[in-house]
Amino acid sequence: MHPRVKSPVRPELVEGRTGKVHFVRASTGSARTVVTMLSLFFLASLTSATSVLADKPLKVVATLSVFADLVKQIGGEDVKASYVASPRFNPHFIECKPSDVLRVKQADLLVDAGLDLEAWRGPLLDAAGNPNLFPGSAGELDLSRGISLLEVPTQPLSRLMGDVHIYGNPHYWMNPDNARIMAQEIAGKLSEVDPANAERYRQRLAEFLKRIDRKIAEWKQKAAVLQGREVVAYHTEWPYFAQFTGLKVEQFLEPKPGIPPSPKHLGFLEGYMRQHKIQAIIQPTYYQRDSSEALARRVGAKVVILCQNVGELPQAKDYFSMIDYNIDQLVQALGGGT
């Protein structure tokens, strides 16, 4: 028999049955096993923690509910999207709450309209103090990129002209053709901020584009009866929707953007609507209806309430149902059937 070779030993502390601490001898092999097990446990814990962090949805704050809806459609369960401006209020004039400041402070991504629609966005970002979301930063997405803007001023502006948007009309999401561009921008930014889920964002984008292409064809067919039909609007926020549907919108209850209707201007509109046989006045939910309803009664027209934002009315629960609702309301009001 070969002589037994003793392994090197070192003392370890253990607690005996009496509760006293004794020195015992442990083999180097046993010690190495313990160390290896502890190392594996540590690595497993670290991997698990990393997995939990990776599995957390991306925190996205959008300025408007329509943007948050598009983010959800592209992001799916990989994002947690919320919005700041209530769809029942004019998005130009929003008073941000402390909870909005906290959400923006903790957000991974901010999605906004760019341009000068949200005058309150700058103060909100300053209060939140999240430099990653500042304009042009990695965590900010300006959805106006790639959009062909309408009503871009071609002359010097002054306050005498009312609340004119200096970069062009910012209500570009009302044209579904622009929603295709916006969805692609959202998918690109989500993939950039969260590359681990980039393929999932690309898949959802492909599904969205297929769906909206089908709906665009359907909407165009349904809106054919609106081609060339003229309506009066409360405020100049419909040029992109008119571009898509073929509506004609040249007169507004506001004599100048942001200026409330005056008796003199309403008198002019009454004569104009009679002369041009205009049957409808369109406006979103957040403007007063007194002036528009009084004018409509005098000329035998209808006030048609349309949506500018997802969630503005129950019928506009997402982007697709919002456009469905708007086109259906106009087709009914202008006598084209449904």
**E strand or H helix at 243, and its extent?**
helix 239-245
| Long-range pairs, 51-55, Cβ under 8 A, ≥24 | 54/196
Of the two residues 47 and 260, the one the predictor is more confident about is 260
Task: Output the pLDDT for position 54.
Answer: 54
Q: Model confidence over 68-96: pLDDT tens digits? A: 999 999 999 999 999 999 999 999 999 99
Determine the Cα–Cα distance for residues 332 and 337; give it in Å rounded to an integer.
5
Report residue 319 CA to chain centroid gap: 10
Q: How confident is the model at residue 4 (pLDDT cuts 50, 70, 90)?
A: very low
Determine the Cα–Cα distance for residues 8 and 29; give it in Å rounded to an integer.
9
- Indicate whether this model's pTM tops 0.75: yes
Task: Output the pLDDT for position 24.
Answer: 39
Mean pLDDT of the chain, nearest integer:
87
Show me where the domains of the chain are located.
9-48, 58-219, 224-333
Q: Model confidence over 322-333: pLDDT tens digits? A: 999 999 999 999
Mean pLDDT of 38-59: 51
CATH hierarchy code of domain 58-219: 3.40.50.1980
Task: Output the pLDDT for position 6.
Answer: 40
* For residue 233, pLDDT beyond 50: yes
Determine the Cα–Cα distance for residues 216 and 209; give it in Å rounded to an integer.
10
Task: Output the pLDDT for position 318.
Answer: 98
Mean pLDDT of 274-295: 97
Burial class of residue 301, CB neighbours in 10 A (0-12, 13-18, 19+):
buried
SS (H, E, C) 26-72: EEHHHHHHHHHHHHHHHHHHHHHHHHHHHHCCEEEEECCHHHHHHHH
Determine the Cα–Cα distance for residues 39 and 199; give it in Å rounded to an integer.
34
Q: What is the DSSP string of 138-156?
A: TTEEETTTT---SS---S-
| Long-range pairs, 47-55, Cβ under 8 A, ≥24 | 54/196
CATH architecture of 224-333: 3-Layer(aba) Sandwich (3.40)
Task: Output the pLDDT for position 53.
Answer: 40
The reply to whether 224-333 shares the fold of 58-219 is yes
Task: Output the pLDDT for position 155.
Answer: 83
* For residue 305, pLDDT beyond 90: yes
